């Protein structure tokens, strides 16, 4: 009887050990797969900005315009609009980068712009667009298969950012690449220091003042696309601003051109979005 008990215990111990080894091996394979995916993404995008962009190094490239030029622009545009000159309407600055559009276009004609976020300079990527929202989820800007994919614009949008609102997507990578750092923009003090992002295109360079950062549901109205402005679009802007987790008083109008930067979160039912309106003299279209 004792021998039978010992035998059963021995068999059970062996089964437990084998199960533990299987779990360990499976976990190891999964970890290797994850690390390999991140290494591929790192290798693919390493030196990307250095290859296709150059920083603007003159005195106007700090990301903010001088007080005198800002005041002059505001007054001139306020006079033209019949508004209060004290209210800034235009927030011009020198673009932080110049882009080699010839080289980028040779790599992939689907590239429609370049995104640069002042508050997170690591977010500096080409923006792709094709005929669906699936391809660039897992293909690079070079059209190579890769889980990290690309930064890409919604296929319903005009490729020249002339729509009243354009949606730009990117993966929330755990190593901080792609849109992995987007979630850190919701800090109020960080926002106040750097409330802008840029979209540079072959047709113009556009500076966007962020007026909303929040975590909507996946079926939120934030993903409604308005090709044209108008009262309904302005109401949408105002709703987005009310939902913001950072306080701001960015003025909104029914003629704005906005961009929504969107990524996933650890909660499958929520997204992280950053929304800005174009505030440069140079406007899309």
| pLDDT per position as a tens digit, 183-238 | 999 999 999 999 999 999 999 999 999 999 999 999 999 999 999 999 999 999 99
pLDDT at 8: 55
Tokens at residue 111, please? 């590239």
CA dihedral 57, 58, 64, 66 (to 10 degrees): 170
Residue 6 in this model has a pLDDT that exceeds 70: no
Asked if residue 169 lies in contact with residue 133, where contact means CB atoms within 8 angstroms, the answer is: yes
pLDDT at 29: 41
Beta strands 111-117 and 120-128: pairing type? Answer: antiparallel
Cα within 13 Å of Cα(98), Cβ side: 7
Which of the 8 DSSP states describes residue 185?
G
Q: Find the mean pLDDT for residues 30-41.
A: 46
pLDDT at 11: 56
Residue 128 in this model has a pLDDT that exceeds 90: yes
pTM over 0.85: no
Q: What percent of the chain has pLDDT over 70?
A: 72
Element (H, E) at 117: strand 111-117
pLDDT band for position 174 (cuts 50, 70, 90): confident
Cα within 13 Å of Cα(31), Cβ side: 6
Residue 43 in this model has a pLDDT that exceeds 90: no
Asked if residue 40 lies in contact with residue 146, where contact means CB atoms within 8 angstroms, the answer is: yes
Asked if residue 215 lies in contact with residue 270, where contact means CB atoms within 8 angstroms, the answer is: yes
Element (H, E) at 238: helix 231-242
Asked if residue 90 lies in contact with residue 280, where contact means CB atoms within 8 angstroms, the answer is: yes
Tokens at residue 75, please? 């007054």
Please tell me the distance from the alpha carbon of residue 184 to that of residue 206, in angstroms, as a whole number.
22
Please tell me the distance from the alpha carbon of residue 241 to that of residue 219, in angstroms, as a whole number.
18
**Mean pLDDT lowest for which of 33-47, 69-83, 134-148, 238-252?**
69-83
Please tell me the distance from the alpha carbon of residue 215 to that of residue 213, in angstroms, as a whole number.
7
pLDDT band for position 47 (cuts 50, 70, 90): confident
């Amino acid at each position: 009887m004792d021998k039978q008990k010992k035998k059963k215990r021995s068999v059970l111990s062996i089964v437990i050990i084998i199960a533990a080894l299987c779990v360990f091996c499976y976990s190891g394979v999964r970890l290797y797969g994850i690390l390999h995916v991140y290494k591929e993404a790192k290798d693919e995008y390493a030196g990307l900005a250095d290859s296709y962009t150059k920083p603007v190094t003159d005195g106007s490239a700090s990301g903010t315009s001088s007080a005198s030029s800002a005041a002059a622009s505001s007054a001139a545009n306020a006079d033209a609009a019949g508004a209060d000159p004290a209210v800034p309407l235009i927030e011009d600055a020198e673009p932080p980068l110049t882009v080699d559009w010839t080289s980028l276009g040779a790599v992939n004609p689907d590239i429609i712009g370049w995104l640069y976020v002042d508050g997170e300079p690591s977010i500096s990527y080409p923006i792709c667009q094709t005929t669906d929202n699936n391809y660039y989820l897992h293909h690079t800007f070079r059209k190579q298969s890769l889980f990290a994919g690309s930064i890409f614009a919604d296929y319903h949008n005009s490729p020249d950012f002339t729509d009243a609102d354009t949606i730009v997507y990117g993966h929330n990578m755990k190593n901080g690449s792609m849109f992995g750092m987007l979630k850190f923009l919701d800090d109020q003090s960080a926002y106040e220091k750097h409330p802008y992002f840029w979209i540079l295109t072959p047709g113009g360079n556009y500076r966007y003042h962020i007026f909303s950062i929040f975590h909507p549901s996946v079926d939120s109205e934030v993903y409604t696309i308005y090709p044209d402005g108008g009262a309904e679009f302005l109401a949408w802007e105002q709703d987005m601003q009310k939902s913001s987790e950072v306080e701001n008083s960015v003025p909104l109008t029914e003629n704005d051109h906005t961009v929504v930067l969107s990524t996933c979160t650890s909660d499958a039912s929520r997204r992280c979005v950053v929304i800005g309106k174009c505030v440069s003299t140079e406007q899309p279209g």
